[in-house]
Structure 1
Amino acid sequence: MPMGFGRQSLAGSMIGGIAETQAVIDVAARPGIAATCEMITPAQIADSYEKLVNRQARYRHVIDMTAA
């Protein structure tokens, strides 16, 4: 109840925990299925978000924090 009055929310995922996620990754890795990633810098986050909104994102975008 205090969260509701403070206009806060709590979100979670119904897809499982770390063990379940690892099991899916292991099954996909056997035949060589992998995600295609595009490394971006923190300066490119806004552009990456626009691609996502405009349904132009073709790859998983991973932020390279060492390029900051």
Structure 2
Amino acid sequence: MTVGAIDMVPSLHSGLLVGGQKSVAGSAIGGLPETQELLNFCAAKTILPETETIAIQDINHAFERMEKADVKYRFVIDMASLGRGS
């Protein structure tokens, strides 16, 4: 299985796929089993995401930063900020 975008896929002789009823598949993100396997691996190795938490009121500023490529981590919106006024 190929996950993610790659520039060039090496040539493949279809005869290699016929024996044993093999197939080639691709996915931009992988399926549920692959995602669960990745999450289990990260939990076992204590691998945590690197994020920057923002209030919903700061979403426009966050978007401007994203457009300027001034973002080091993924933005995560603090859902508790939804109930707060501006």
TM-score, normalising length: structure 2: 0.53
Which structure is richer in relative contact order (CA contacts within 8 A, separation 6 or more)? 1
- When you count helix as a share of all residues, which structure comes out higher? 1
- Paired letter, 1:27: F
Question: 2:12 corresponds to which residue?
Answer: none
CA RMSD across the alignment? 1.8
Q: Which residue, out of 57, 62, 66, partners 2:76? A: 62
Distance 1:51 1:19 in 2: 34
- When you count strand as a share of all residues, which structure comes out higher? 2
Structure 1's unaligned 5+ residue stretches are 1-12
TM-score, normalising length: structure 1: 0.63
Question: Which of structures 1 and 2 has the bigger CA Rg?
Answer: 2
Between the two proteins, the alignment pairs up a number of residues equal to: 56
